[in-house]
Structure 1
Amino acid sequence: MRSLVLIGHGSHLNPDSARAVYHYAELLRKAGSFSEVIEGYWKEEPSLRQVLRTTRYSDVTVIPMFISEGYFTETVIPRELNLGHSGPVPPHGITRQLGGKTVRYTQPYGVHPRMTDVILERAREACPDFSPEDTGLLIIGHGTTRNQNSNRVIYQNRDRIREKGLFKEVHALFLDEDPRVDTWDTLFTSKHVIMVPFFTAEGWHTQETIPEELGLNGSRTTFTDHTVHYALPVGTHPMITEVILEVAQDAWRTSSASGEPSPEQQAAWDTFLGLAREGMRLGEVLIRQDVGLYTLQHMLDEGKDQLQVFVSPESLRDLVRISDSGEYRPVHTFRNLPRGWKAVFNEQDFRRAISYVYPSVIEDTCLYQKGALRVTPWISTARRQTGIYTRVQQATLKDVDQVSKKICGFCLKSRLWYGDTLYQTFLDGVPGAIPCVEACTYVISEVREHVVRKELAQQKETPAQSAR
């Protein structure tokens, strides 16, 4: 019995940012190679700090759903998962014993050698009848000056494809580092140029930035000396599912042992399911059970007819990501759960549905009530931050209180990390009583923005004071 965790970046602003991770998680569940497949995020929920607590089994494989190595795969994810590692991840991955679980952390799927095949498939789709004599291939990467390893996989794929001799010329260019993508026409002599974005998904860069910078108009653009065939990004190709499976299998080769059910996770859900069978309220959700089926709905819709009915956890997941006013809900315990729906599930789907509506709440609350979930005070969270978020270390406690009150006042959770108290939880019959043991990334981001605004205001005041 094994758990697979797919880690995405996520976003506090864009509800579509998790779509690719959700998509592959669904495909991998259907493949049946894992006992469970769950998702975790840097800027969504369940967070990197929570996600391992939500796994049902003691054997856990964690795969970063990133296209290349870099700051997030080498620094942020290992740090937030408490792996005790920083820097490049070796080909065989990293294995740690954490909380009674064997956790295998792999390289990002994008560095797997089979990504070369994915690039070639995208190229063939964009220009099925290309001729090696007059066709060149351009692999477009994002690039960054913050991590020298991020471009390595692009060059590796370029070299592999060059060795195959399928194209007259093969080059690699980048959006945010040299050599830049807008220099492509100085490199190619081929009449036809196939451009393949080495990106995880369709998005701003693949749909806006690259076409605008290069003057592309759809999938085929004719210039004076070249005809450009613009391919879809590699990260959305169906072969990615096979690549992810191979990454996981490579991690398993270090051990033949399989996992067992996690006692803590099983105890948490046994407790919760016992209450759910009797009928209960959790946050803004009313839960009932009848004839083996669980019904969920917004508690304010109790007794109402003509509700939209959902029967799949994924459909409910997509619904609750957006409020009735159209606002994205990156924090699922915000007090703006949409209304007008009812969901009906068997027990297996009910568990996943609850985990989508209120990620990690069941596990965290049960552990908290047992005294087994440590509260991480703000100062510890701030000291842990790196990169652009080191700025939060400059925030005073007054700053943190001011920012978090605005955010956390709209959230069901009690900010124990700032000293709030919580004597009862929803397990005791108080629907909105949910512990928050650590500041979420939404709060961290807003504190950073607050610090930046303060610095700008101080800079404006200084010249004015000097003039006096």
Structure 2
Amino acid sequence: MRSLVLIGHGSHLNPDSASSVYAYADMLREKRLFDEVVEGYWKEEPSLRQVLKTAEYTDVTVIPMFISEGYFTETVIPREMGLGHQGPVPPQGVARVIGGRTVRYTLPYGVHPRMGEVILARAREAYPEMNPADTALIVLGHGTTRNENSNKIVFQNAEQIRQSGQFAEVHALFLDEEPKVNGWQAQVKSKNVVLVPFFASEGWHTQETIPEDIGLTGEVTVFEDGPHGIQTVYYSKPVGTHPAVAEVILQLAEEAHGLSDQGGDVDRTHLDAWNALMALAEDTARIGEVIVRPAEGMFEIRHALDEGKANEGLKTVVTPEGVRDYARLDEGGEYRPVHTLRNLARGWRAVLSREDLPRAMHLLYPAVIEESYAHHHHALRCTPWAATARRQTGIYAKVQKATPQQVEHVASDVCGGCLKTRLWANDALNQTFFAGVPGGIPCAEACTLLVAEVREEVSGKRGAAAGHSHG
């Protein structure tokens, strides 16, 4: 029995950032090659610190859904997941035993040799009639000064395609390092240009930054005033959202598993938590903002404030993914990166089978069942703010300078609208919803949204009208 965990970046600001990870997880789930497929995120839930708790089995393969090696794959993910590894990941991956689970951590899918094929597929989609004699290809990477490995795979793919002779020119350009994409007209001479973002997902960069930086007006943009005359740019979708990536992920997972056909067992603690949840659901349980109850051989989830409403007055969903759609946006359509905020949309009900209820509850309240059950049995480990701050690196290292007053000031805003009780700040929670207390949900560690907001506070930027630094 094996769990596959896909790790994405996610965003506090943009709900589309996680869409490709969700899509691949759904696609791989349908293939049934793993006993379960779950997702974890740096900026969403379940967090990197929580995601292993949500895995059902003791054999876990973790694949970073990133386009290149770099700061996140070599520093952030291993640190946050407790892998005991820092630096470049070897081709065969890294294996560790964590909390009774065998965890295999692979290279990011973007460095797989087949990604060159995906770049070409995206280029042909963007410009089907392209003529190699008058068409240039730009492979656009993010780039970073924090890790020299970040740009390596972009240059490698560009060189491989250049040698294939399928374009008159091939250039590797970047958003945040030289050679930068905003100077493309000085380098590219061809009259037709295909721009392929070597990015993992649709998000702020592909939808806003890139078009703004170089003046794109849509999928096709004509530039009339460049040094090489009139040039037409065909802008493709990011490579990370192409369906072929699912096969790349599976190949990585199989390579990480090695020659052993033996999988793991069901994790006993995880099983106990979900059995306890199902026992609650057999009666009627209030968990967070929802009520869960049996309903004619099925189970129903609805907002507690919709209790007593006629079924006809509510929209009915019948899949866990339908529940996820309501969990991600509030009634006004605003994005909810933290699912325990007290702004869950009303006006819906989910009718689910016994098999689907656990996944729906996981998507509604990621890691809440596992952590609440652990706290109910006095087994939840909490991480004080000081320890969370000390662990931060890169642009978030400055949260270590935050005063207790600053942290509390930010927390009063960020945490004030959350259902959870801040155990990391020594707030008391004597009983959880497992003991029948509706609001009894523990918060074992400051979430990444709070960390990001504390950073803004220390930087003096919090409350500014603009700002995507924590997205």
- Shorter-chain TM range is over 0.9
Equivalence for 2:44: 44
Pairing of 1:410-425 with structure 2 (within 5 A): 410-425=417-432
Residue type of the alignment partner of 1:83: L
Residue 133 of structure 1 deviates from its aligned partner by 3.0
CA distance in 1, matches of 2:462, 2:353: 53
Q: Residues 108 and 427 of structure 1: is their aligned pair in 2 closer, same or farther, counting only changes over 3 Å?
A: same
Q: Does 1:442 align with 2:449?
A: yes
Q: Does 1:228 align with 2:233?
A: yes
Q: Does 1:109 align with 2:109?
A: yes
Q: Secondary structure at the match of 1:107?
A: coil
Residue pair 2:58, 2:265 contacting (<8 A) in 1 also:
yes
Q: Residues 396 and 295 of structure 1: is their aligned pair in 2 closer, same or farther, counting only changes over 3 Å?
A: same
Q: Residues 113 and 14 of structure 1: is their aligned pair in 2 closer, same or farther, counting only changes over 3 Å?
A: same
Moved more, 406-415 or 76-85: 406-415
For residues 186-243 of structure 1, give each alpha carbon's deviation from its aligned partner in whole angstroms, at most 9, with x where no partner exists.
Answer: 3334343222111122333333333343343433344425333322221121111111
Residue pair 2:96, 2:104 contacting (<8 A) in 1 also:
yes
Equivalence for 1:136: 136
Structural RMSD (CA):
1.9
Q: Does 1:427 align with 2:434?
A: yes
Equivalence for 1:460: none
Q: Does 1:163 align with 2:170?
A: no
Q: Does 1:32 align with 2:39?
A: no
Q: Residues 360 and 120 of structure 1: is their aligned pair in 2 closer, same or farther, counting only changes over 3 Å?
A: same
Q: Does 1:93 align with 2:119?
A: no
**Pick aligned residue for 1:405 from 384, 393, 412:** 412
Q: Residues 188 and 445 of structure 1: is their aligned pair in 2 closer, same or farther, counting only changes over 3 Å?
A: closer
Residue pair 2:135, 2:168 contacting (<8 A) in 1 also:
yes
Equivalence for 2:352: 345
Equivalence for 2:466: none
Pairing of 1:210-229 with structure 2 (within 5 A): 210-222=210-222, 223=224, 224-229=229-234
Residue 143 of structure 1 deviates from its aligned partner by 1.1
Residue 12 of structure 1 deviates from its aligned partner by 1.5
Equivalence for 1:239: 244
Moved more, 120-129 or 434-443: 120-129
**TM-score, length of structure 1 as denominator length:** 0.93
The unaligned stretches of length 5 or more in structure 2 are 464-471
CA distance in 1, matches of 2:387, 2:41: 20
Pairing of 1:449-468 with structure 2 (within 5 A): 449-453=456-460
CA distance in 2, matches of 1:113, 1:312: 36
Residue pair 2:18, 2:201 contacting (<8 A) in 1 also:
no
Equivalence for 2:207: 207
**TM-score, length of structure 2 as denominator length:** 0.93
Structure 1 segments (4+ residues) deviating >6 Å = none
The unaligned stretches of length 5 or more in structure 1 are 457-468
Residue type of the alignment partner of 1:89: V
CA distance in 2, matches of 1:173, 1:285: 48
Q: Residues 346 and 196 of structure 1: is their aligned pair in 2 closer, same or farther, counting only changes over 3 Å?
A: same
Q: Secondary structure at the match of 2:103?
A: strand
Q: Does 1:304 align with 2:341?
A: no
CA distance in 2, matches of 1:189, 1:443: 47
Q: Secondary structure at the match of 2:17?
A: coil
Equivalence for 2:469: none
CA distance in 1, matches of 2:335, 2:189: 46
Residue 396 of structure 1 deviates from its aligned partner by 2.0
Residue 321 of structure 1 deviates from its aligned partner by 1.5
**Pick aligned residue for 2:257 from 236, 252, 258:** 252
How many residues in Structure 1 have an aligned counterpart in Structure 2?
A: 456
Equivalence for 1:373: 380
Residue pair 2:16, 2:202 contacting (<8 A) in 1 also:
no
Residue 410 of structure 1 deviates from its aligned partner by 1.7
Equivalence for 1:80: 80
Equivalence for 2:365: 358
Q: Secondary structure at the match of 1:39?
A: strand
Residue 77 of structure 1 deviates from its aligned partner by 0.7
Residue 11 of structure 1 deviates from its aligned partner by 1.4
Q: Does 1:322 align with 2:329?
A: yes
Q: Secondary structure at the match of 1:372?
A: coil
For residues 282-329 of structure 1, give each alpha carbon's deviation from its aligned partner in whole angstroms, at most 9, with x where no partner exists.
Answer: 111111113431101011111101111111111111112122244322
Q: Residues 405 and 204 of structure 1: is their aligned pair in 2 closer, same or farther, counting only changes over 3 Å?
A: closer
